[in-house]
Amino acid sequence: MKQVILIFWCFFSLLLYAQKQAPLSYVAFKTSEEINIDGKASEEAWKLAKWSENFIDIEGVETPAYKTNVKMLWDEEYLYFYTKMEEPHIWATLKQRDTVIFYNNDFEIFIDPDGDAQNYMEFEINALNTVWDLLLVKAYREGGHAIDSWDIAGVKSAVYIEGSLNDPGDQDKFWNVEIAMPWEVLTETSPNGSIPANDFWRINFSRVNWDFQLKDGKYSRKQDNNGNYLPEYNWVWSPQGVINMHEPEHWGYVYFSDKKPGGKEAFTIPKDEKIKWFLYELYRKQKSYHQKHKKWALPINKLVKGEMKIDGEKVRPKLEIHETGWNISVLSPFTGNKLIIKENGDFIKENSD
């Protein structure tokens, strides 16, 4: 019995750590080299760009069966992505744009330019180079829904396969995806409508992978004896801590350096972002409190007890209940900015100047 308890506690501790660890960050460098979108990334700029960390299970605990990494570059016209995904059986069936691509194995990109968990973009692609691009005005947890008619106009993508597609008679090695997204579209939801040179956006990547079955030599998602699909695997760059990509506050940080690929650039996540993580923690607690008690928590010590410090500085959250919901705000001891989380998950920063 003690051994069972110890195993459970170790697992719980790992899960708790995964939920608390800081999001990952990546520096994307600016290239002057013309990038040909062919799925091969043979340009010198791509060779100089660094690979991301290995993808991990979405909760941040388990190591995936197959390795996945990404690279990023940018220029004045496009934001570029390149991924390599190891896979012994490469298959895809969906050919209609804006269908639910994650019913196949796929690669996904999530982008929130201003980091407010609102008006964010999602892009999915399978091994047939079929894409689904969509916009979410607000997250699903707040009743948001996908706007399928929204497109990343001018997006370019290509898939390269080391192996064969939809052929169960052999074993494949990997498939690569290369993508160019026009800034003209991406900056429509950015804070000032401009390319974030020497600034950061919140971005994350996901790879959905399914166990498969074969029928008449054709691949499909595996089903149990009752005809139910087995659950998919969700492998991500920056761990979410929960099985949900639609909590943008957990996404990684991508800093867009105007230096050339191969250069050196140090990026440190701003301290105000750590306050933002704290505010989203209070947001989730407030939602849970309301679900249990059918009313909002008041005063603030029902959500957080004792003194709260971030990087050695005291932070004092202030809770205000109003007619349509609530606000929780913190005056940053680092910048003097007022940071606010609303009942709908929207984040607002009021600059001190």
Pairwise CA distance, residues 34 & 75, whole Å: 9
Where exactly are the structural domains of the chain?
23-257, 271-350
pLDDT at 247: 96
Q: How many Å from the N-terminal Cα to the C-terminal Cα in the chain?
A: 59
Q: What is the pTM of this model?
A: 0.92
Mean pLDDT, residues 11-28: 65
Mean pLDDT, residues 127-133: 98
Pairwise CA distance, residues 24 & 275, whole Å: 16
DSSP β-ladder status, 347-350 and 338-342: antiparallel
pLDDT at 353: 72
Mean pLDDT, residues 305-333: 93
Pairwise CA distance, residues 118 & 112, whole Å: 7
Ramachandran assignment for 193, one of left (phi > 0), alpha (psi -120 to 50 degrees), beta (any other): left
Confidence of residue 20 (pLDDT cuts 50, 70, 90): low
Q: Which residues of 235-249 are buried (b: 16+ CB within 10 A; e: fewer)?
A: bbbbbbbbeebbbbb
**How do residues 31-89 score in pLDDT, each as one tens digit?**
999 999 999 999 999 999 999 999 999 999 999 999 999 999 999 999 999 999 999 99
Pairwise CA distance, residues 122 & 33, whole Å: 27
User: Mean pLDDT in the chain?
Assistant: 93
CATH code of the domain occupying 23-257: 2.60.40.1190
Residue type, 260: K
- Is residue 275 within a helix (H) or strand (E), and if so which, with residue range? helix 271-293
Pairwise CA distance, residues 319 & 105, whole Å: 43
Mean pLDDT, residues 214-220: 95
Mean pLDDT, residues 172-189: 97
Confidence of residue 10 (pLDDT cuts 50, 70, 90): very low
Q: When comparing pLDDT for 233 and 305, which is higher?
A: 233
Q: How many C-beta atoms surround the C-beta of residue 26 within 10 A?
A: 22
Pairwise CA distance, residues 102 & 244, whole Å: 14
Show Cβ contacts of residue 350 under 8 Å, excluding neighbours closer than 6 positions.
337, 338, 339, 340
